[in-house]
Chain A
């Protein structure tokens, strides 16, 4: 009896930390496959590259947990990037770049949120519309040309390091901790999960469902705006055609990280690990020289597998329990 309980605890432990275990196993396999993998510069580089995705993935996690999603994130990164660079050219200060990018991204998300809450448009359609609008605007105001003029202070955000760690990683970590706090220690966090878990029951318990959705989109806007500024800095210019389909990479990361597409379940730490798993996988595929088209196939297989894992294993447990 005692032994049985112990093994039960062990299997519980494994299922609880399955993501961490997968990440560690992956890193071990990767380091055997390529000796460069475990070097500090390579690891830091991967995390740096993932910073933009992690910020978008945190936003996607919050939205999906609340029963929404954002298909416009990539376009909004492009739009707020170019608008922010225009503003920066007039007021060359890195904070101006941040603030303008954040405001533009929040404005776009507010439009999506209003479509979703006031006009009851399904999030999929509303943000698909926003995707076209934002991308179109970015192309229109730039005439389709890339913008240059990233000054030294702005370039430092995505290109330089402090104490050997890239600056973008600090920014990403601060926002990551903020999202951890939001989800675990605030009314807003509880409300997001309640709304995504069962909108009608949340409403029936006195939660203002529409306000929660609007706020979640605004938070997603904030994260997207910061991601846009880092992106702008890293590519050293405003790219109206850039950040294509970044929203999908963000969703892949958060879903690999255990966020349930049916809503109500998702965590910041899971999303972070999910983004690392995806990032390291891309990295090792590059290091061992896998064809880039095949890499895309591999990513597809991973997201399919993650969702099947989510539906089959997680639901199977409850399915068996229920009589």
Chain B
């Protein structure tokens, strides 16, 4: 069935100074199928995709499309070969409208200087209709959600007559509901004969849409599996190269006294009458769709935002959290979502990042206590197993998992009592995820209270003692017994 192969990658190798990013990679993409690429961060998935899209060039090996060896020097070449790519970080001009973005850089022209806006409008309408998308051509992209913009990117690919679509972690920042519509869109594209390369970390999602799964590890292709002939455990095992006994290393701890309580917390139009508590040693989850108000509530409790009314208690004493400094002084810590944007100072060293919340201690009395700082940080880094070439290394050159560990170290240095974690494992590969889970478990074991927001239900169900569910700014339910957590019940509270 050689003519069934849309694209083939043969013996591709690519080195960067000091790193062999890809080492003899091979795989075949069949026509009209979804081919998932799996691998830990750093396994070479993104490098491979960038080669297919002409952003990088391979040192060795060839790419074959429709049986012919092709040379892809740049993204324009890639498009001419019918290859389109949707990046993890979507690229668009937010101040322009849908139609302007769609035809950006390939305007339909009346003559040498003027753009034919009427024709663009017509074309856009035709495309939207064909794909069954209910948007207006003149909608500013600024007003559209990430998932809607993703659909526009797909639209763009379709308008290029793309036959191969590469999607790099398209669901990493959209809600579960939007994942559903994305998946049905992908299924539709597949049935129309498009071949799709799909990169994702989320196993349940992978197993829903994949036809074939190719696993990369350390820049090598490990194997290609038919979806029907494998299972999640096998895929993870092949990805990390060792057996992961249990993805969620949950230990049942003795639950202590109440440590944190929130009563009637309200902010007009954002969240309303939020009541919950956390006990020592307890991991409390917050589930809900994106936009349910979980992040907003937690940001408020950490002093990043203000609230209208309500009370917050720590160890049964009322506290104020008017700003982050007050929250930290009261023993509240928060690992924010979107690490790059809110969590790290990319250009500064791991040490400076780690001691950022405890500067008063290391600069007490108007001078720097360098040895104390280095000693404390080395100790805590050992505890959370940060892998870094040195304390002076800029944090941006660490992997996502290690960056997250530095942030955890930062809060450990503060001796925080309550830890709020918003999507603590997003964008972190499977092996490092487990380490993060273990660390979260350690905090709980040490009598801290943990609040964990996550969009991955299996993660919440695996790690939490109780799960609150939010919908449209309210808490709609609480699952109290971890023996009978169920995805159905959480979704029930989240949508109904």
CA distance A205 to B413 in the complex (A): 12
CA distance A191 to B360 in the complex (A): 11
The reply to whether the CB of B452 lies closer than 8 angstroms to some CB of chain A is no
The reply to whether the CB of B136 lies closer than 8 angstroms to some CB of chain A is no
Which residues of chain B from 29 to 66 have a CB within 8 Å of any chain A CB? 42, 44, 46-47
Chain A neighbourhood of B341, CB < 8 A: 198, 200-201
Interface stretch (choices B201-209, B254-262, B346-354) = B346-354
CB-CB under 8 A for A204 and B346, given A187-B359, A193-B352:
no
Asked if A323 and B46 make an inter-chain contact with CB atoms under 8 angstroms apart, the answer reads yes
Asked if B356 and A323 make an inter-chain contact with CB atoms under 8 angstroms apart, the answer reads no
Contact with A along B356-384 (1 / 0, CB 8 A): 11011001001110000000000000000
Interface-centre pick from A186, A187, A193, A204 (highest chain B CB count, 10 A) = A204
Asked if A205 and B42 make an inter-chain contact with CB atoms under 8 angstroms apart, the answer reads no
The reply to whether the CB of A265 lies closer than 8 angstroms to some CB of chain B is yes
Asked if A205 and B357 make an inter-chain contact with CB atoms under 8 angstroms apart, the answer reads yes
Asked if B345 and A323 make an inter-chain contact with CB atoms under 8 angstroms apart, the answer reads no
Asked if B397 and A321 make an inter-chain contact with CB atoms under 8 angstroms apart, the answer reads yes
Asked if A187 and B342 make an inter-chain contact with CB atoms under 8 angstroms apart, the answer reads no
Q: Which residue of A lies closest to B41 (CB)?
A: A323
Asked if A194 and B346 make an inter-chain contact with CB atoms under 8 angstroms apart, the answer reads no
Asked if A198 and B345 make an inter-chain contact with CB atoms under 8 angstroms apart, the answer reads yes
CA distance A200 to B340 in the complex (A): 10
The reply to whether the CB of A36 lies closer than 8 angstroms to some CB of chain B is no
Asked if B357 and A206 make an inter-chain contact with CB atoms under 8 angstroms apart, the answer reads yes
The reply to whether the CB of A6 lies closer than 8 angstroms to some CB of chain B is no
The reply to whether the CB of B418 lies closer than 8 angstroms to some CB of chain A is no
Q: Which residue of B lies closest to A193 (CB)?
A: B348
The reply to whether the CB of B134 lies closer than 8 angstroms to some CB of chain A is no
CA distance A206 to B368 in the complex (A): 19
Q: Which residue of B lies closest to A207 (CB)?
A: B356
The reply to whether the CB of B7 lies closer than 8 angstroms to some CB of chain A is no
Contact with A along B334-345 (1 / 0, CB 8 A): 101000011111
Contact with A along B278-305 (1 / 0, CB 8 A): 0000000000000000000000001010
The reply to whether the CB of B396 lies closer than 8 angstroms to some CB of chain A is yes
Q: Which residue of B lies closest to A198 (CB)?
A: B345
CA distance A171 to B378 in the complex (A): 40
Contact with A along B287-326 (1 / 0, CB 8 A): 0000000000000001010000000000000000001110
Interface-centre pick from A190, A197, A201 (highest chain B CB count, 10 A) = A201
CA distance A304 to B343 in the complex (A): 32
The reply to whether the CB of A203 lies closer than 8 angstroms to some CB of chain B is yes
The reply to whether the CB of B132 lies closer than 8 angstroms to some CB of chain A is no
Chain B neighbourhood of A208, CB < 8 A: 323, 325
Asked if A206 and B325 make an inter-chain contact with CB atoms under 8 angstroms apart, the answer reads yes
Chain A neighbourhood of B328, CB < 8 A: 205-206
Asked if A202 and B356 make an inter-chain contact with CB atoms under 8 angstroms apart, the answer reads yes
Chain B neighbourhood of A264, CB < 8 A: 345-348
Chain B neighbourhood of A197, CB < 8 A: 345-348
Q: Which residue of A lies closest to B17 (CB)?
A: A320
One of B16, B302, B347 near A320 (C-beta < 8 A): B16
Which residues of chain A from 85 to 115 have a CB within 8 Å of any chain B CB? none
The reply to whether the CB of B21 lies closer than 8 angstroms to some CB of chain A is yes
The reply to whether the CB of A260 lies closer than 8 angstroms to some CB of chain B is yes
Number of A residues near B (Cβ < 8 Å) is 28
The reply to whether the CB of B156 lies closer than 8 angstroms to some CB of chain A is no
The reply to whether the CB of B217 lies closer than 8 angstroms to some CB of chain A is no
Asked if B348 and A184 make an inter-chain contact with CB atoms under 8 angstroms apart, the answer reads no
The SS class assigned to the A binding surface is helix
Asked if A185 and B367 make an inter-chain contact with CB atoms under 8 angstroms apart, the answer reads yes
The reply to whether the CB of B410 lies closer than 8 angstroms to some CB of chain A is yes
CA distance A190 to B21 in the complex (A): 35
Chain A neighbourhood of B42, CB < 8 A: 323
B425 CB to nearest chain A CB (Å): 18
A6 CB to nearest chain B CB (Å): 15
Asked if B336 and A185 make an inter-chain contact with CB atoms under 8 angstroms apart, the answer reads no
The reply to whether the CB of A318 lies closer than 8 angstroms to some CB of chain B is yes
Q: Which residue of A lies closest to B356 (CB)?
A: A205
Contact with B along A197-231 (1 / 0, CB 8 A): 11011111111100000000000000000000000
One of B323, B324, B368 near A186 (C-beta < 8 A): B368
Asked if B366 and A194 make an inter-chain contact with CB atoms under 8 angstroms apart, the answer reads no
One of A200, A265, A318 near B397 (C-beta < 8 A): A318
Q: Which residue of A lies closest to B349 (CB)?
A: A193
Chain B neighbourhood of A320, CB < 8 A: 16-17
Asked if A198 and B346 make an inter-chain contact with CB atoms under 8 angstroms apart, the answer reads yes
B328 CB to nearest chain A CB (Å): 4
CB-CB under 8 A for A323 and B324, given A191-B359, A193-B352, A207-B356:
no
Chain A neighbourhood of B396, CB < 8 A: 318
Asked if A194 and B347 make an inter-chain contact with CB atoms under 8 angstroms apart, the answer reads no
Chain B neighbourhood of A260, CB < 8 A: 347
Asked if B367 and A194 make an inter-chain contact with CB atoms under 8 angstroms apart, the answer reads no
CA distance A260 to B325 in the complex (A): 28
Chain B neighbourhood of A262, CB < 8 A: 347
Chain A neighbourhood of B357, CB < 8 A: 205-206
Chain A neighbourhood of B346, CB < 8 A: 197-198, 264
Interface-centre pick from B21, B304, B345, B367 (highest chain A CB count, 10 A) = B345
CA distance A201 to B348 in the complex (A): 12
One of B342, B359, B366 near A201 (C-beta < 8 A): B342
CB-CB under 8 A for A204 and B397, given A197-B347, A198-B346, A323-B44:
no
Q: Which residue of A lies closest to B348 (CB)?
A: A197
Chain B neighbourhood of A204, CB < 8 A: 302, 304, 324, 334, 336, 342-343
CA distance A300 to B3 in the complex (A): 59
5 pairs, A vs B, C-beta closer than 8 Å: A190-B355, A197-B345, A203-B304, A264-B345, A321-B19
- 9 closest A-B pairs (Cβ-Cβ)? A197-B345, A205-B356, A185-B368, A206-B328, A264-B347, A187-B363, A205-B357, A198-B345, A187-B359
Given A187-B363, A194-B352, A198-B346: 9 more A-B contacts, CB < 8 Å: A190-B356, A193-B348, A204-B304, A205-B328, A208-B323, A260-B347, A264-B347, A320-B16, A323-B16
